[in-house]
Amino acid sequence: MHLRKTDVVDAAITILDQYGLADLTMRRLAGSLQVQPGALYWHVKDKQTLLGAVADRILAPMDEPVTTAEWQGQVTELAHRLRDCLLAYRDGAELVSATYASRLTTSKARERLAGIVIRAGMTREEADLTAYTLLYYVLGQTVDEQSRMQMDSAGALPAESTPLLETPDATARFDFGLQLFIAGVRSILGTRVR
């Protein structure tokens, strides 16, 4: 079998979904691909580089076109898309958060968010801060949401504390925070809105 980088990333995502981030090791990955661990290093420099490639794959839907014309709708759509990307994979939020912290994933999603608010009238400096703030909001909310769901599925939460019965639910809480964020951006833009 001729091993390609996409094969390595695909197998890493499978392990992530089956076992979680803590068990995504180079040894396990090599075993799943039926190669020696050293063979992986032809395709990825080290585990951190592998995690960056996995994060980029998780975030691939962020590159798809937005369907809304005005900046508020675009920000909302991309924030929800980011959340959906993270929730689509076990420990997806934790993995992406770690790779953003170590600057191992591409910053296309952040750049895209910054571009939206620049076109709405923000300066580049304000837009960068805005994009980072939204990125960290989504990551934080989603890490918490995934952690609670995993704790619940493992029976680590009392029955009355299950996230499935929380009111408001995780999406409603996410939307409320997003509305606050957009109101803040609107306030900063003030009369600069085009």
- Determine the pLDDT at residue 38: 87
Q: Per residue, what are the HEC states of 32-44?
A: HHCCCHHHHCCCC
Are 39 and 64 contained in the same domain? no
* Gap between the Cα atoms of 44 and 35, Å rounded: 14
Are 105 and 162 contained in the same domain? yes
Q: Range of 17's domain? A: 5-44
What pTM, to 2 d.p., does this model score?
0.86
Are 21 and 104 contained in the same domain? no
Q: How far is CA 128 from the centre of its chain?
A: 17
The domain spanning residue 39 has which CATH number? 1.10.10.60
pLDDT band at 109 (very low <50, low <70, confident <90, very high): confident
Are 72 and 140 contained in the same domain? yes
Number of domains comprising the chain: 2
pLDDT tens digits, 55-104: 999 999 999 999 989 999 999 999 999 999 999 999 999 999 988 877 77
pLDDT tens digits, 113-130: 999 999 999 999 999 999
CB 139 within 8 A of CB 100: yes
pLDDT tens digits, 7-57: 999 999 999 999 999 999 999 999 999 999 888 988 999 999 999 999 999
